């Protein structure tokens, strides 16, 4: 979303930003999952895409010229997002368009030149490169076919064949000539360009800081580009991840080899110890790589011990299930494992789960008992309590009289054998738990108990209490677990503790020890009592704890054997040689004293992630070794100091943080604040905070950064706002009426400037909602340039706790700006006068059809339109609200429903839709005309509006199959209404 007029701005990003392409590149990077550059270091929530950080940094450093279109071309060349850059990225990725697909993309002339179409039975055979004589000539012709076909692909299709920008060495030689010519530089690499632009602007390489550095995206990318990078975070886990991003990922291949060697030594030592203990091998010499455990509790109705699991399916690829058999004598169930069962047995095991809808389903008596009754939940003065015993520090397993027991019910063994060719192979076997397995479990418990206090004292296993909190209350309330080590069973504690012991005993390089600690962090994520077992086909394994942003105790869980921990422990990252330097530290944003020209931050505003709580899961494992590695650091999450929420205290903390950053930034410096776009109140609060901190908004853009996730129920706005700010130098006072007039002008100027940039472009820089969002930022640009507003008390606004529905003055300004944009953004070929006579819900529906015309099916885009038009109830308009398949209903899909006297149901647009339905249903355009004439009392006064609406509906004919017949009918009804006479 653009926010500045395209003249008199201080940097490219304050004038324009190709949000569409950067969004697509960000999405591609996100979809790489663990192959993302920093993800292999360890879990952190909400890492921002590196390509977005790179674009933001280049955008801040690149000066605008008086030729905005050429500026954009040069920016895209720097980012390798132009045609030649994409082609280079495709070749680097060894991308290859199949000849069959390439053939379809070529012209007739090109097909004749490159292909021989031979007649064969049932069709044509394609023989390629018919004119190539030698090998080199054939190779060159193949490349030309690829180049021609690649050019014809859409941007999204090109990305599917190309590397990410960070995976190549930058623009081509030819591109550098154009870049240098336009920017008056002499660079041959991105780091040289950044150095030159930094020296021109600041006198030295840019110093880039992030005071909420999280997973380290900003400091890492800044250092990789040649900046002096600084990362700070109150949380030491974030500071450690950032240190690793700078020194391990950014350390190059030599450092990566040292890290690998150090981790191999630790891994081998742990393997040797576990093998010596004999706790993972059976009598056949097989080694276990997975253990499945479940809770067990007495049925309150019949007293039988019931093993607990939502499903007894173990593997859908191997067709493995657990089957319960009642042992009447012992009053409990035996659990038998069957591998290779039928589809019907799989379905039966799925239905036989003993926990259904948060109820214990007893297979002995058939009774269902709510889980809250099993726990003995009761509401007291201090909230919900229950009958569960609170575990003590010395507990590593349930006591015999605890409500919930823990039971091993399946082991997966790895058999190593030699095949007929003499090659060593492995195969897996799921087996019922035997007495020998139970003896090994007892040995594990005995080994752990003997080492427990010593290991806690030395920091090999956690000793920290779980402090109550939004997310940490759950294991305390539902299981009685009070310490972090309670989230791991004895086998997991013994294995992870052995890893930690060997890491701390290792005397190798610091990068190796840090990498091993982070390997331990990931190993704990995949080897806890909160680690679910995945039974899906092709993925029968123990999954990670943090598949979402919570600490969810499970009824059944998996534990990985040692050999299954290699992928978690070893640091799997692609090394880079960072051109710049960098450092990180755990410190509050209000206290940092680092001076940076550019601050890029992602504060925890209105954030659903409780970083300070969740990170304690990891910190509990390495608080002591962390302080040995970094004596100047603390090893506490500093939960009491964490900036959280969105109320009065939060706003004041944020003002203090950003005022400090502004004070540690020169007059010509700039900031970018990132936040998740939600609604006007979020923008208003952020604006108030930045305003009070002495900053002014100069631009804002929204980048789509989130992938769709099956863990999310429903659809969410998937955008990150980049709010660009500079120090406010003026101290003028404005009046509210003056502000409103200026905002109205600024919105219109901004939208017109954006449209001018997007003329005649097949790949537009701005999507439909970007124009709408421009209004938000235009309002803030006007507002924050003033030192004060006569009628407003900033201190009062910061400290107010607003009631539901109450809006701040800034929200009022923003919403009026959005309304201006709604009036200004008229669908193509729609009469501007008639557009202004439509109600907000009518405009929303018609603009929704325009989204569909443009191929926009993201739910967030439709939500954004609804916000822009101020329409709160719009779900009845949806034909589908599924992720990436969202659209509004056609006339036939509305049918006879949702007709009424008020709101959209009684609107002219709704009546026009029903007229189309009637005309199509009766195969007579006059039926539609008569409906409008007879049912609308103001038919004659609104005939021109109805014709305009019907003509617009008719324009949907070529958009989608579900509109084809309705659009034809709409055209006929429009003609009938136009020819109607009194």
How many residues make up the chain in this entry? 982
Q: From CA 414, how far away is CA 282, in angstroms rounded?
A: 10
DSSP secondary structure of 455-519: HHHHTSS---B----TTTHHHHHHH---BGGGGS-HHHHHHHHHHHHHHHH--S-HHHHHHHHHH
Helix axes 908-922, 961-978, angle to 10 degrees: 100
Max distance between CA atoms of the chain, in angstroms, equals: 99
Range 41-51 average pLDDT: 92
- Asked if residues 48 and 36 have their Cβ atoms less than 8 Å apart, the reply is no
Per-residue pLDDT, averaged over 82-92, amounts to: 96
Residue 13 has pLDDT above 60, yes or no: yes
- Average pLDDT of 287-301? 97
pLDDT, position 645: 60
Task: Report d(CA 810, CA 740) in Å as an integer.
Answer: 11
Reported confidence tier of residue 45, pLDDT bands at 50, 70, 90:
confident
Per-residue tokens: 945: 């509006």
Q: Is the pLDDT of residue 599 over 80?
A: yes
User: If you average pLDDT over each of 136-150, 585-599, 813-827, 843-857, which comes out highest?
Assistant: 585-599
At CB < 8 A and 24+ separation, what contacts does 109-116 make? 110/148, 114/141, 114/144, 114/145
Question: Do residues 534 and 541 lie in contact, with contact meaning Cβ atoms separated by under 8 Å?
Answer: yes
Helix axes 83-92, 68-78, angle to 10 degrees: 10
pLDDT at position 804, please? 67
Q: What pLDDT shows up at residue 491?
A: 99
Asked if residues 149 and 97 have their Cβ atoms less than 8 Å apart, the reply is: yes
The CA-to-CA distance between both ends of the chain, in Å, stands at 48
pLDDT value at residue 222: 98
453 or 735, which is more confident?
Answer: 453
Residue 446: which of 565, 279, 276 has the closest Cα? 279
d(CA 141, CA 73) in angstroms, rounded, equals 29
Please tell me the predicted confidence (pLDDT) of residue 131: 56
pLDDT tens column, 182-204: 999 999 999 999 999 999 999 99
Q: Which of 107, 111, 140 is nearest to 128 (CA)?
A: 111
pLDDT level of residue 752 (50, 70, 90 thresholds): confident
Give the Cα separation of 978 and 940 in Å (integer): 11
Least confident among 373-382, 639-648, 756-765: 756-765
Name which of 74-78, 689-693, 880-884, 973-977 the model is least confident about. Answer: 880-884
Phi, psi of 673 (to 5 degrees): -110, 125
The pLDDT confidence band at residue 926, using thresholds 50, 70 and 90, is: very high
| pLDDT tens digits, 402-430 | 999 999 999 999 999 988 888 888 999 99
How confident is residue 130, by pLDDT bands cut at 50, 70 and 90? low
Is residue 713 over pLDDT 50?
no
Tally of CA atoms within 13 A in the half-sphere of 675 that contains its CB: 22
Q: In the prediction, which pLDDT does 126 show?
A: 55
Stretch 443-454: mean pLDDT, rounded? 98
* Closest to 12 in 3D by CA, of 219, 228, 197: 197
Residue 968: is its pLDDT beyond 90?
A: yes
Task: Tell me how far apart the alpha carbons of residues 617 and 531 are, in angstroms, rounded to a whole number.
Answer: 13
Res 716 pLDDT > 70: no
Q: Where are the domains of the chain?
A: 20-189, 270-372+400-569, 832-978
Q: pLDDT (tens digit, 9 = 90+) per residue, 452-508?
A: 999 999 999 999 999 999 889 999 999 999 999 999 999 999 999 999 999 999 988
Among candidates 459, 332, 448, 454, which has minimal Cα distance to 397? 448
pLDDT above 80 (res 119): no
Strands in 654-797 per DSSP E: 670-676, 695-704, 719-727, 733-734, 788-789
What pLDDT score does 706 carry? 56
Burial of 76 (0-12, 13-18, 19+ CB in 10 A): buried
Q: Tens of pLDDT along 217-233?
A: 999 999 999 999 999 99
Q: Using the structure block, give the residue that is written with the tokens 């990305």.
A: 159
Which tokens in the block code for residue 561? 């054997």
Taking the CA atoms of 476, 480, 486 and 490 in sequence, report the sign of the dihedral they define. Answer: negative
Average pLDDT over residues 746-753: 86
Q: Is 793 helix (H, G, I), strand (E, B) or coil?
A: coil
Whether the pLDDT of residue 3 is over 50: the answer is no
CA distance 26 to 20: 10
More confidently predicted of 438 and 646 = 438
Distance, CA of 858 to chain centre: 15
Answer yes or no: are the C-beta atoms of 235 and 612 closer than 8 Å: yes
Q: What is the pLDDT of residue 808?
A: 78
Decide the pairing of beta strands 582-586 and 228-233.
Answer: parallel
Distances from the Cα of 52 to the Cα of 57, 78, 778, angstroms: 9, 13, 22
Measured CA to CA in angstroms, residue 63 lies from 24, 424, 519 at distances of 24, 62, 42
pLDDT at position 448: 98
pLDDT at residue 381 in the model: 57
Query: Please, what is the Cα angle at 652 between 647 and 658, to 5 degrees?
Result: 125
369, with CB counted inside 10 A (0-12, 13-18, 19+), is: middle
- Note the pLDDT tens digit of each residue in 819-843: 888 778 888 889 989 998 999 999 9
- Give tens-digit pLDDT for 261-270: 999 999 999 9
* pLDDT tops 80 at residue 741: yes
Task: Find the mean pLDDT for residues 867-875.
Answer: 85
Q: Please check the confidence at residue 677 and state whether its pLDDT lies above 80.
A: no
Mean pLDDT of the chain: 90
Query: Mind giving me the DSSP string for 24-47?
Result: HHHHHHHHTGGGSTTGGG---TTP
**In this structure, how many other beta carbons lie within 10 angstroms of the beta carbon of residue 931?**
19
Q: What is the spatial distance between Cα 200 and Cα 195, in angstroms, rounded to a whole number?
A: 9
Tens digits of residue pLDDT in 137-179: 778 888 899 999 999 999 999 999 999 999 999 999 999 999 9
Structure tokens given for 218: 């900003």
Counting Cβ atoms within 10 Å, is residue 59 exposed (0-12), middle (13-18) or buried (19+)?
buried
Which residue reads 């206290």 in tokens?
591
pLDDT at residue 6 in the model: 37
The average pLDDT across 380-399 equals: 85
∠ CA(494), CA(280), CA(568), 5° rounding? Answer: 60
Q: 737: pLDDT confidence band, cut at 50, 70 and 90? A: confident
pLDDT at residue 415, as a whole number: 94
Q: Is 230 helix (H, G, I), strand (E, B) or coil?
A: strand
| pLDDT surpassing 90 at residue 240 | yes
**What is the per-residue pLDDT across 339-369, written as a single tens digit (0 to 9) for each?**
999 999 999 999 999 999 999 999 999 999 9
Contacts of residues 436-440 at CB distance under 8 Å and 24 or more positions apart, as own/partner, are 436/282, 436/283, 437/282, 437/408, 437/411, 438/408, 440/278, 440/279, 440/280
Reply yes or no on whether the pLDDT at 564 is more than 80. yes
Selected residue with higher pLDDT from 349 and 769: 349
Highest mean pLDDT among 19-23, 94-98, 291-295: 291-295
Residue 125 pLDDT > 70: no
Look up tokens 């049925």; give the residue. 299
Model confidence band, residue 736 (pLDDT cutoffs 50, 70, 90): confident
- Give me the pLDDT at residue 650, please: 79
Separation CA 931–CA 914 (nearest Å)? 8
pLDDT confidence of residue 765: 67
Give pLDDT, residue 684. 82
What is the DSSP-derived secondary structure letter of residue 251? B
Residue 878: its H or E element? strand 878-880
Burial class (CB in 10 A: 0-12, 13-18, 19+), 339: middle
The percent of residues above 70 in pLDDT, for the chain, comes to: 92
Distance, in Å, from the CA atom of 41 to the CA atom of 223, rounded to the nearest integer, reads 17
Whether 127 has a pLDDT exceeding 60, the answer reads no
In the chain, % of residues over pLDDT 90: 67
Q: pLDDT band at 776, cuts 50/70/90? A: confident
What number is the average pLDDT over the span 44-67? 95
Locus of tokens 């130098």 = 729
């Amino acid at each position: 979303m653009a926010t500045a007029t395209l003249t008199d701005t201080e940097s490219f990003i304050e004038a324009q930003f190709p949000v569409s392409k950067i969004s697509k590149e960000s999405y591609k990077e996100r979809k790489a999952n663990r192959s993302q550059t920093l993800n292999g270091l360890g879990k952190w929530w909400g890492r921002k895409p590196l390509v977005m950080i790179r674009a933001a940094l280049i955008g801040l450093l690149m000066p605008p010229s008086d030729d905005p279109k050429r500026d954009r071309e040069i920016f895209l060349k720097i980012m390798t997002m132009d045609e030649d850059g994409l082609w280079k990225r495709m070749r680097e990725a060894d991308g290859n368009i199949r000849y069959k697909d390439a053939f379809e993309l070529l012209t007739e002339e090109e097909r004749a030149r490159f292909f021989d179409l031979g007649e064969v039975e049932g069709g044509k055979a394609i023989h390629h490169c018919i004119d190539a004589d030698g090998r080199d000539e054939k190779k060159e012709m193949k490349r030309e076919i690829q180049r021609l076909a690649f050019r014809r692909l859409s941007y999204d299709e090109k990305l599917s064949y190309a590397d990410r920008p960070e995976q190549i060495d930058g623009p081509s030689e030819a591109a550098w000539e154009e870049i240098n010519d336009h920017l008056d530089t002499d660079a041959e690499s991105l780091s040289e360009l950044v150095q030159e632009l930094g020296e021109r602007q600041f006198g030295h390489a840019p110093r880039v800081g992030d005071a909420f550095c999280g997973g380290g995206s900003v400091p890492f990318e800044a250092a990789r580009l040649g900046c002096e990078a600084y990362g700070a975070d109150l949380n030491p886990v974030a500071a450690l991840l950032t240190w690793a991003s700078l020194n391990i990922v950014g350390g190059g291949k030599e450092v990566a080899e040292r890290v690998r060697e150090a981790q191999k030594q630790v891994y081998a030592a742990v393997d040797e110890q576990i093998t010596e203990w004999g706790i993972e091998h059976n009598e056949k010499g097989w080694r276990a790589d997975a253990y499945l455990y479940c809770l067990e509790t007495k049925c309150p109705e019949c007293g039988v011990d019931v093993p607990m699991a939502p499903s007894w399916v173990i593997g859908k690829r191997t067709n493995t299930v657990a089957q319960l058999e009642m042992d009447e004598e012992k009053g409990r169930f035996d659990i038998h494992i069957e591998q290779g069962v039928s589809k019907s047995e799989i379905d039966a095991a799925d239905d036989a789960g003993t926990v259904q809808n948060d109820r214990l389903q007893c297979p002995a008596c058939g009774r269902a008992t709510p889980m809250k009754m099993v726990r003995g939940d009761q509401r007291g003065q201090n909230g919900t309590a229950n009958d569960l015993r609170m575990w003590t520090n010395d507990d590593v397993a349930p006591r015999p009289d605890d409500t919930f027991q823990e039971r091993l019910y399946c082991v997966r063994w790895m058999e190593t054998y030699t095949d007929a060719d003499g090659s060593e192979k492995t195969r897996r076997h799921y087996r019922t738990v035997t007495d020998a397995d139970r003896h090994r479990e007892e040995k594990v418990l005995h080994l752990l108990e003997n080492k427990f206090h010593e290991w806690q004292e030395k920091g090999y296993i956690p000793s920290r209490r779980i402090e109550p909190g939004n997310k940490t209350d759950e294991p305390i309330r539902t299981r009685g677990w009070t310490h972090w080590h309670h989230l791991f069973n004895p086998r997991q504690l013994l294995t992870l503790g052995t890893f930690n012991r060997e890491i701390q005993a290792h005397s190798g390089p610091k990068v190796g020890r840090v990498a091993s600690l982070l390997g331990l962090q990931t190993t704990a994520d995949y080897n806890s009592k909160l680690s679910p077992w995945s039974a899906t086909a092709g993925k029968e394994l123990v999954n990670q704890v943090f598949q979402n942003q919570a600490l969810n105790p499970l009824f059944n869980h998996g534990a990985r054997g040692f050999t299954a921990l290699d992928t978690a422990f070893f640091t799997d990252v692609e090394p880079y040689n960072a051109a710049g330097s960098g450092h990180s530290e755990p410190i509050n944003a209000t206290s940092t004293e680092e001076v940076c020209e550019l601050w890029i931050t992602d504060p925890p505003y209105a954030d659903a992630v409780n970083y300070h709580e969740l990170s304690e899961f990891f910190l509990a494992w390495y608080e002591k070794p962390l302080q040995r590695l970094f004596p100047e650091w603390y090893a506490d999450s500093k939960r009491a100091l964490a900036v959280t929420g969105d109320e009065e205290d939060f706003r004041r903390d944020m003002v203090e943080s950003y005022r400090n950053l502004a004070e540690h930034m020169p007059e010509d410096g700039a900031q970018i604040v990132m936040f998740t776009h939600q609604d006007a109140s979020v923008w208003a609060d952020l604006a108030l905070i930045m305003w009070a901190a002495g900053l002014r908004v100069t631009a804002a853009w929204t980048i789509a950064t989130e992938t769709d996730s099956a863990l999310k129920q429903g659809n969410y706005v998937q955008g990150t706002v980049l709010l660009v700010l500079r120090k406010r130098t003026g101290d003028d006072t404005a009046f509210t009426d003056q502000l409103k007039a200026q905002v109205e002008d600024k919105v219109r100027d901004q939208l017109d400037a954006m449209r001018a940039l997007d003329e005649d472009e097949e790949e537009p820089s701005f999507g439909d909602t970007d124009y709408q969002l421009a209004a938000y930022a235009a309002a803030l640009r006007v507002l924050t340039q003033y030192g004060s507003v006569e009628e407003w008390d900033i201190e009062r606004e910061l400290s107010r706790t607003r009631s539901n529905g109450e809006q701040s003055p800034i929200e009022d300004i923003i919403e009026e700006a959005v309304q201006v944009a709604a009036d200004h953004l008229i669908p193509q070929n729609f009469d501007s006068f008639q557009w202004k006579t439509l109600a907000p819900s009518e405009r929303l529906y018609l603009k929704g059809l325009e989204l569909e015309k443009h191929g926009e099916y993201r739910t967030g885009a439709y939500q954004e339109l609804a916000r822009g038009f101020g329409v709160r109830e719009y779900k009845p308009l949806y034909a589908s609200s599924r992720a990436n398949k969202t659209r509004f209903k056609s006339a036939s899909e509305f049918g006879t429903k949702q007709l009424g006297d008020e709101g959209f149901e009684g609107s002219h647009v709704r009546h026009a839709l029903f007229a189309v339905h009637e005309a199509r249903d009766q195969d007579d355009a006059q039926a539609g005309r008569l409906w409008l004439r007879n049912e609308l009392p103001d038919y004659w006064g609104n005939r021109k509006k109805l014709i305009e609406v019907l003509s617009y509906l008719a324009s949907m004919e070529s958009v989608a199959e579900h509109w084809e017949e309705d659009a034809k009918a709409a055209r006929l009804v429009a003609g009938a209404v136009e020819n109607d006479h009194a």
